[in-house]
C-alpha cells in the first residue's frame, strides 16, 4: 500500500510539470517531541522483574511524557503559478516517548522496591508524507502552510528502561514491543525559507492503536508528534 502511494505521488508531481512555476528539493534534519495519547498512556509505571524467567519489563511502557525524537528526510515540492503547493516527503525517523519508573516489583520475593528512573519507547520507521497547501508572501519571505498525511512503515519498536533503587542497585529492561507494522497520521505544517535554508514546525497524530491485539482492560494508545527542523535546498 505504501509503495503504491509513493509511486502515485511521485508520478503525479513529475507529470504535472507544465502547471508548475518551480520545483524545490530539500534535505531536512528533523527533530521534535513525541509521546503517546489515549486511555492507556501513562506518565509513570513500574518494572516487573522475574529472576526465574531471567528478564524484566516495564508494565506499561507507553509513556504520555514527551521525549526528543530525530530523523532525516528528503522533500520534493512544486509551487504553481498561483502559489498552490503540493509534494511529498520521504525519510527515516526515531520517535521516542518517556515513562517515569517508580518501583520494581520482584516477582519471586513478592515485594515492591522504590526506584527512580525512566523507560523510553523507541519507534523507528520509514515515513512518507504527501501534502498540499499554499505559499503566502511568495515575493518576500515565503510562508508555506500545508496539510497531508504520514504513512509510517514501522521497522521496530523497543522499550529501554533504566532505574536505580536507594541502595544503588540498577535495573534495566530491553524488550521488543512491536505490535503494528504501519501508522497513519494526519499532519499539518508551517515553514519559511531564507535563500537556501529554512525552518519548519509541524504536528501530527496517529490513528492506529499501538496496543492492537491486547486483551483485558483498556488498551488504546496513539502516537502524537510535534516536529521541528531545518532544511537546505539542493534543487
Tens digit of each residue's pLDDT (9 = 90 or more) over 23-69:
999 999 999 999 999 999 999 999 999 887 778 999 999 999 999 99
List the single range of 51-55, 69-73, 91-95, 167-171 with lowest mean pLDDT: 51-55
**C-alpha cell belonging to residue 5:** 502511494
Nearest Cα neighbor of 99 from 60, 156, 69, 57 is 60
Q: What is the mean pLDDT of residues 6-34?
A: 74
More confident site: 214 or 142 = 142
**Average per-residue pLDDT in the chain?**
91
What SS3 state is found at 9? helix
Tell me what pLDDT residue 193 has. Answer: 94
pTM above 0.95, yes or no: no
Using a pLDDT cut of 70, give the percent of the chain over it: 91
What SS3 state is found at 115? strand
Query: Is the pLDDT score of 5 beyond 70?
Result: no
Amino acid at each position: 500500500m505504501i509503495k503504491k502511494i509513493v509511486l502515485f505521488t511521485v508520478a503525479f508531481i513529475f507529470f504535472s510539470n507544465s502547471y508548475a512555476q518551480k520545483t524545490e528539493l530539500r534535505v531536512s534534519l528533523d527533530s521534535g517531541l513525541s509521546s503517546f495519547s489515549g486511555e492507556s498512556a501513562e506518565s509513570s509505571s513500574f518494572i516487573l522483574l522475574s529472576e526465574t524467567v531471567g528478564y524484566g519489563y516495564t508494565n506499561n511502557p507507553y509513556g504520555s511524557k514527551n521525549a526528543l525524537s530525530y530523523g532525516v528526510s528528503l522533500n520534493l515540492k512544486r509551487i504553481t503559478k498561483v502559489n498552490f503547493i503540493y509534494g511529498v516527503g520521504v525519510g527515516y525517523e526515531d520517535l521516542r516517548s518517556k515513562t517515569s519508573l517508580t518501583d520494581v516489583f520482584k516477582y519471586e520475593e513478592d515485594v515492591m522496591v522504590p526506584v527512580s528512573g525512566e523507560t523510553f519507547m523507541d519507534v523507528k520507521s520509514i515515513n512518507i508524507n504527501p501534502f498540499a497547501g499554499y505559499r503566502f508572501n511568495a515575493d518576500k519571505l515565503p510562508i508555506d502552510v500545508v496539510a497531508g498525511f504520514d504513512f509510517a512503515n514501522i521497522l521496530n519498536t523497543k522499550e529501554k528502561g533504566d532505574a536505580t533503587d536507594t541502595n544503588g542497585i540498577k535495573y534495566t529492561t530491553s524488550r521488543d514491543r512491536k505490535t503494528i507494522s504501519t501508522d497513519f497520521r494526519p499532519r499539518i505544517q508551517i515553514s519559511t525559507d531564507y535563500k537556501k535554508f529554512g525552518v519548519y514546525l509541524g504536528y501530527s497524530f496517529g490513528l492506529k492503536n499501538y496496543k492492537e491485539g491486547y486483551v483485558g482492560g483498556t488498551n488504546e494508545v496513539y502516537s502524537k508528534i510535534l516536529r521541528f527542523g531545518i532544511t537546505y535546498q539542493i534543487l
